[in-house]
Amino acid sequence: MKKLFITEIVDLVGKEVDLFGWVDSIRDHRKIVFIDLRDRSGTVQIVGGENFKSLSPEDVVYIKGLVKKRPEKLVNPKIKTGTIEVEAKELKIISKAKTTPMPLNTDGYEIDEEIRLKYRYLDLRRPRMRDNIIYKSKITTFIRNYLVNENFIEIETPILTKTTPEGARDFLVPSRLQKGNFYALPQSPQQYKQLLMVAGFERYFQIARCFRDEDPRADRAYGEFTQLDLEMSFVTQEDILLLIEKMFSALVNEIFPKKYISQSPWPRLKHADVMKKYGTDKPDLRKNKNDKNELAFAWTVDFPLFNKQSTEDFFHGSGKAAFAPSHHMFTSPHPDDIKLLDTDPLKVRGLQHDLVLNGFEVGGGSIRIHDSVIQQKVFDLIGFSEDQKRQFIHMLTAFQHGVPPHGGIAPGIDRFVMAILGEPSVREVIAFPASSGGKISVMDAPSSATGEQLDELGIKIK
């Protein structure tokens, strides 16, 4: 038999249906017992007899029943199935449920996060959490379809890659076949997407998993996160900004029709001006901060290419004084400022662009350096040693074989969903996030490895 979602039976009044789901709530009226049956799509009221008295919340059941119209005075306008109920003809308990370790009939904000993450498979049964995950799926599906329609090609890049000094700490993976050597999980597909531009694909994207061993905060998950990674050849910065503005505006109109974008076109804010006016490069430009449906998008541009910083601070390296890249070391200097690289690097503007939504930076990108001479100069200014430069020899070699001008952006999917839904943390929109202490939901990870595993890898624990 075909499994019907609960919300699909609204128009089947007078017909018998087969339903599967979880017992959401029970109301015992002696000879008549009402339950709310829940599945992914929503809930519906079931009218049963005394055999329903054996049910407990969260039991998984099968019910055959007749769809009936509710009396007008009993219609519930708050739910999709509020105009109907199902008169049960048959009940089968598929699996019994123990009493849950936390209440599931609340938003969950009041419950200790460690408990919620330990029992995340229960926490995800909350309508709020279920809706967050469904919205995230709708958003990634919309983005994928939109970009394919704009002649982008979706290309996967490696998860096992090479450790390179890019600012944050890498997650290292030991190699069994080459003992003593390590892979690194990618902080982003930055180098691969630039190499794809060298390869001539011109318009690339992927919904990419990224990994950074950095401290968590409300708008940043520990360990891993998801971003839309996007790169284009033969474009200007304005081309990138317009593409993203049109795509996200269309996304809001389709998926969040009750929300509205407060300013269009989106404001373009110069970094120096926005820091002077707001004291931050990601200002919240909403006219009414209490309006959850207001979306204030903006662009911050004209960032300085460099900050004054020590190599030790940025690269955990030699301690030599150097300039640190404001964004990353592949960001192109503004064409008008290239001469300043030799005279006053701190005055050089970068062709960087940050996407801001309601006070959160939800994406960042830039026009990239495609001239190997300028790339070498940037490496020198940020204090790279010859050994560090050699870690990027693949990029410098590729740039000798005809590289187009190119640029892109990488909006963070988790952070974007968090901001647009008004959630307090990215962990509220991730199915199985890590805790603030780095412990993975449900699983006892990280965990120790056996002596046999370590011997096979040629590793000793110090």
Which is higher by pLDDT, 382 or 281? 281
Q: Within a domain: residue 372? A: yes
Q: Within a domain: residue 260? A: yes
Q: Within a domain: residue 458? A: no
Query: What is the domain-level CATH number for residue 275?
Result: 3.30.930.10
Q: Within a domain: residue 448? A: no
Query: What is the domain-level CATH number for residue 32?
Result: 2.40.50.140
> Which of these three, 77, 95, 113, is where a domain ends?
95
Q: Which amino acid is at 381?
A: L
Q: Within a domain: residue 110? A: no
Residues 219 and 339 reside in one and the same domain: yes
The reported pLDDT for the residue numbered 324 is: 86
Measured CA to CA, the distance from residue 7 to residue 194 in angstroms comes to 46
Q: Is the pLDDT of residue 446 over 80?
A: yes
The reported pLDDT for the residue numbered 163 is: 87
The reported pLDDT for the residue numbered 319 is: 45
> Token digits for 215?
């401290």
- What are 109-138's pLDDT values in tens digits? 999 999 999 999 999 999 999 999 999 999
Query: How many structural domains are present in the chain?
Result: 2
Measured CA to CA, the distance from residue 419 to residue 288 in angstroms comes to 15
Buried b (16+ CB within 10 A) or exposed e, 353-372: bbbbbbbbbbbbbbbbbbee
Residues 138 and 194 reside in one and the same domain: yes
Domain span at 52: 6-95
Residues 38 and 143 reside in one and the same domain: no
Q: Within a domain: residue 438? A: no
Radius of gyration over every alpha carbon of the chain, rounded to an integer in angstroms:
27
The reported pLDDT for the residue numbered 145 is: 98
Q: Within a domain: residue 197? A: yes
Residues 88 and 149 reside in one and the same domain: no
Residues 253 and 364 reside in one and the same domain: yes
The reported pLDDT for the residue numbered 84 is: 98
What is the rounded average pLDDT for all residues in the chain? Answer: 93
Share of the chain above pLDDT 90, in %: 84
> Which of these three, 95, 112, 134, is where a domain ends?
95
Residues 201 and 251 reside in one and the same domain: yes
Q: Is the pLDDT of residue 156 over 90?
A: yes
Residues 272 and 333 reside in one and the same domain: yes
The reported pLDDT for the residue numbered 236 is: 97
- What are 309-336's pLDDT values in tens digits? 754 555 444 445 468 888 888 999 999 9
The reported pLDDT for the residue numbered 389 is: 87
The reported pLDDT for the residue numbered 168 is: 78
**Nearest C-alpha neighbor of 413 from the set 437, 429, 393:** 429
Measured CA to CA, the distance from residue 419 to residue 218 in angstroms comes to 11
Residues 155 and 204 reside in one and the same domain: yes
Measured CA to CA, the distance from residue 462 to residue 460 in angstroms comes to 6
The reported pLDDT for the residue numbered 326 is: 84
> Token digits for 423?
């959630």
Residues 153 and 58 reside in one and the same domain: no
- What are 404-434's pLDDT values in tens digits? 999 999 999 999 999 999 999 999 999 999 9
- What are 247-256's pLDDT values in tens digits? 999 999 999 9
The reported pLDDT for the residue numbered 337 is: 95
> Token digits for 216?
């968590």
For the residues 163-171, what does the mean pLDDT come to?
80
Q: Within a domain: residue 227? A: yes
The reported pLDDT for the residue numbered 437 is: 84
- What are 215-235's pLDDT values in tens digits? 877 788 888 999 999 999 999
CB 122 within 8 Å of CB 116: no
Residues 327 and 181 reside in one and the same domain: yes
- What are 352-399's pLDDT values in tens digits? 999 999 999 999 999 999 998 999 899 999 888 888 888 889 988 999
Measured CA to CA, the distance from residue 117 to residue 121 in angstroms comes to 8
HSE on the CB side for 369, CA within 13 Å? 26
CB 440 within 8 Å of CB 427: no
3-state secondary structure the chain: CCCCCHHHHCCCCCCEEEEEEEEEEEEEECCEEEEEEEECCEEEEEEECHHHHHCCCCCEEEEEEEEEECCHHHCCCCCCCCCEEEEEEEEEEEECCCCCCCCCCCCCCCCCHHHHHHCHHHHCCCHHHHHHHHHHHHHHHHHHHHHHHCCCEECCCCCCECCCCCCCECCEEECCCCCCCEEECCCCCHHHHHHHHHCCCCEEEEEEEEEEECCCECCECCEEEEEEEEEEECCCHHHHHHHHHHHHHHHHHHHCCCCEECCCCCCEEEHHHHHHHHCCCCCCCCCCCCCCCEECEEEEECCECEEEEEHHHHHCCCCCEEEEECCCCCECECHHHCCHHHHCHHHCEECEEEEEECCEEEEEEEEECCCHHHHHHHHHHCCCCHHHHHCCHHHHHHCCCCCCCEEEEEEEHHHHHHHHHCCCCHHHHCCCCECCCCCECCCCCCCCCCHHHHHHHCCCCC
CB 421 within 8 Å of CB 135: yes
Residues 181 and 40 reside in one and the same domain: no
| Segment among 205-209, 354-358, 388-392, 454-458 with least mean pLDDT | 388-392
The reported pLDDT for the residue numbered 317 is: 45
Residues 196 and 312 reside in one and the same domain: yes
The reported pLDDT for the residue numbered 318 is: 46
